[in-house]
Amino acid sequence: MPCRHCLAEPERNASSAPGRKGHGDRLDGQRLQRMVRTDRIALPLKMMDASRKSSAEKPRIALGADHAGFRAKENIKKYLQSAGYAVSDAGTWSEESVDYPDFAIKVARRVQQGQDDLGILVCGTGIGMAMAANKIGGVRAAVAHDALTARMSREHNDANVLAMGARVLNEHQIIEVAESFLSAQFAGGRHQRRIDKISELDQEPKPRG
Ligand code: RB5
């Protein structure tokens, strides 16, 4: 069966990781570019509308990863640049072991200070990245492992940072989840009142000690 995200046939003898990753083949940069050029990524209608926006209308994206998320971050960067997004890459730059909070904080600060509109973080699971990013005032980081939770994190929770796990999702799923996040809009209304209650917590004095 062709992959429903990129229409590519699965490779013979491709190794499969356990859990949701499943898809064994890696997306190299050239292949990603080719898929974008030839529209081979099958995007839902809403995402296609988002990809038609001009660069000026698209949110600026801050990207960050640790060693576990490095390859995925490189793929996301190539994909987003091909799709016309302005991307700032906060590292890391290799698969050498690093500490994920260092990159989560860089990306979260860029979003906090309005240098970028949204952030995307990748580590092994997304969990540590989200924990660290959520310590930065004004940042609402959500871990999403599928397109639905990524979209809902924007529509209901006004998430401004997406955290994903490169040991949980394969390359295709990571692109799909990122696109779902980027093409969704905050729904406002009753959700705004709830977000305001979260934002109020940024004003609480830090406990001593
Ligand atoms: C690194 O091994 C791993 O702990 C990190 O990538 C992440 O999964 C933490 O949440």
pTM of the full structure: 0.78
Q: Which residue has the tokens 């499943």?
A: 22
Domain locations along the chain:
20-55, 58-201
The answer to whether 156 is a known catalytic residue is yes
Return the pLDDT at 201: 95
Q: Which helix (H) or strand (E) holds 80?
A: helix 70-82
What is the rounded CA–CA span in Å between residue 84 and residue 47?
14
CATH class of 58-201: alpha beta
Contacts of 94 (CB under 8 A, 6+ apart): 67, 70
Ligand 1 center from residue 166 Cα (angstroms): 9
Maximum C-alpha span of the chain = 58
Angle (CA) 135 19 90, round 5°: 35
Contact assessment for residue 120 and residue 76, using Cβ atoms and an 8 Å cutoff = yes
Q: How far is CA 89 from the centre of its chain?
A: 13
Contacts of 43 (CB under 8 A, 6+ apart): 51, 179
Candidate from 21, 70, 129, 143 with most ligand 1 atoms within 8 A of CB, to mutate: 129
What is the number of the ligand 1 atom nearest to the C-alpha of 68?
6
Which string of DSSP letters, residue by residue, matches 122-159? EESSSHHHHHHHTTSTT--EEE-SSHHHHHHHHHTT--
Q: Which two tokens stand for residue 63?
A: 């990207």
Q: Which two tokens stand for residue 149?
A: 């939770």
The answer to whether 123 is a known catalytic residue is yes
Return the pLDDT at 208: 79
Task: Report the half-sphere exposure of 13 (CA within 13 A, side-chain side).
Answer: 0
Ligand 1 center from residue 56 Cα (angstroms): 34
From the first residue on, what is the mean pLDDT of each consecutive set of 10 residues in the chain (209 residues)? 38 38 45 42 42 75 98 98 97 98 98 98 98 98 98 98 98 98 97 97 84
Q: Could you say which of 123, 145, 172, 191 is catalytic? A: 123
Ligand 1 center from residue 54 Cα (angstroms): 35
Ligand 1 center from residue 68 Cα (angstroms): 7
Return the pLDDT at 94: 98
Return the pLDDT at 10: 39
Output the ligand 1 site: residues, CB below 6 A.
Answer: 66, 68, 100, 123-125, 127-128
Return the pLDDT at 45: 41
Return the pLDDT at 104: 99
